[in-house]
């Protein structure tokens, strides 16, 4: 079953509660929460207080995508703020701190994801695959919504899917960036199981229809 993860980066923050209620009742599976620090990526979004605040409003599964440098410093605080799954970038920390971050998230009883920027090969993730619940393949350069899907990321998705199958793991593959009803069939065919969509959901007035179009395309 394909999961749809609407990204609130493209929501209207002035009516954030209403936008979240619409994607929750409209069939969204994960709520994708993009956290940016202005250092790991050239943009700043929101962080712990916003995550904790929206946690009070909804039972949705919180899929927190950390685009911050040295994420091991903050993963526990995002768990405490209400994350159900915390993903961080493999490029953002030293290997020993990546293992620390994984253990910290697990100790909080939450799920763990690791994200890859477009230029990072799939193989970099192989040592971590048995330890994580989700591999996040960026299909745009992280930092902004509304960018064009990078079709040259499809082989990376296939490589990860093949390795996950070879190891017999129950690891989701999430794709993030430029996903809409046109690109969704491509990533599904390649092996993605969680589809993040920001602008393709929130620019439409009927969010439920937009998510169903992406899921069923
Ligand atoms: C970009 C973020 C994405 C973004 C996707 O760095 O990680 O989650 O919200 O937006 P769209 O779906 O518009 O490409
Ligand atoms: Zn994201």
CATH number at residue 82: 3.20.20.70
Tell me, what's the pLDDT at 8? 98
Taking CA atoms, 210 is separated from 3, 41, 105, 109, 215, in Å, by 13, 28, 32, 32, 9
Question: In total, how many domains does the chain have?
Answer: 1
What does the pLDDT look like over 75-85, one tens digit per residue? 999 999 999 99
Count other Cβ atoms within 10 Å, centred on residue 185.
12
Residue 87 CB less than 6 A away from ligand 1: no
- 163-213 confidence digits (pLDDT tens): 999 999 999 999 999 999 999 999 999 999 999 999 999 999 999 999 999
Predicted confidence band of residue 122 (pLDDT cuts 50, 70, 90) = very high
Q: Tell me how many degrees the CA angle 178-8-212 measures, rounded to the nearest 5.
A: 60
Active-site residue, selected from the candidate residues 19, 63, 176, 180: 176
> How far, in Å, CA of 122 to CA of 158, rounded?
9
| CB-based burial, 144-174: b 16+ in 10 Å, e otherwise | bbeeebbeebbebbbbbbebbeeeeeebbbb
Find the mean pLDDT for residues 21-46. 98
| pLDDT score for 128 | 98
Kindly give the distance from the C-alpha atom of residue 10 to the centroid of ligand 1, in angstroms, as a whole number: 8
Q: Could you tell me how far CA 106 lies from the centroid of its own chain?
A: 18
Provide DSSP, 104-150. Answer: HHHHTT-EEEEEE-TTS-GGGGGGGGGG-SEEEEESS-TT-SSPPP-
CA of 87 to the centre of ligand 2 (A): 9
Residue 20 banded pLDDT, cuts 50, 70, 90: very high
Q: How far is the CA of 65 from the centre of ligand 2 (A)?
A: 5
CA angle 165, 173, 29 (to 5 degrees): 130
> Which of 4, 5, 7 is the pocket-test mutation for ligand 1 (most atoms within 8 Å of CB)?
7
Among the atoms of ligand 1, which is closest to the Cα of residue 36?
6
Tell me the pLDDT of the chain averaged across its residues.
Answer: 98
Tell me the average pLDDT across 109-119.
98
- Domain carrying residue 99: 3-216
Confidence of residue 107 (pLDDT cuts 50, 70, 90): very high
Point out the ligand 1 atom lying closest to the alpha carbon of residue 138.
7
| Spatial separation of the C-alpha atoms in residues 23 and 42, rounded to whole Å | 27
List 34, 37, 63, 93, catalytic entry: 34
DSSP string computed for 13-58: GGGHHHHHHHHHHTT-SEEEEEEEBSSSSS-B---HHHHHHHHTT-
Query: Would residue 34 show up in a list of annotated catalytic residues for this protein?
Result: yes
Question: Which is the closest atom of ligand 1 to the Cα of 43?
Answer: 6
Annotation marks residue 63 as catalytic: no
């Amino acid at each position: 079953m394909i999961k749809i993860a609407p990204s609130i980066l493209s929501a209207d923050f002035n009516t954030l509660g209403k936008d979240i209620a619409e994607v929750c009742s409209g069939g969204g599976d994960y709520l994708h929460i993009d956290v940016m620090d202005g250092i790991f990526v050239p943009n700043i979004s929101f962080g712990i207080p916003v995550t904790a605040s929206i946690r009070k409003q909804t039972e949705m599964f919180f899929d927190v995508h950390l685009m911050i440098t040295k994420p091991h410093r903050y993963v526990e605080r995002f768990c405490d703020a209400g994350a159900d799954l915390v993903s961080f970038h493999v490029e953002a920390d030293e290997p020993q701190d990546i293992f620390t971050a994984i253990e910290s998230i697990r100790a909080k009883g939450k799920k763990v994801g690791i994200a890859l920027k477009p230029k990072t090969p799939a193989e970099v993730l192989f040592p971590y695959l048995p330890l994580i619940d989700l591999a996040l393949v960026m299909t745009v350069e992280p930092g902004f919504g509304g960018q064009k899907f990078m079709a040259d990321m499809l082989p990376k998705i296939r490589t990860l899917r093949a390795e996950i199958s070879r190891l017999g793991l129950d690891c989701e593959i999430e794709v993030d960036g430029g996903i809409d009803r046109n690109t969704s069939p491509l990533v599904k065919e390649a092996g993605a199981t969680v589809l993040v969509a920001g602008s393709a959901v929130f620019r439409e007035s009927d969010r439920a229809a937009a998510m169903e179009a992406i899921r069923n395309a």
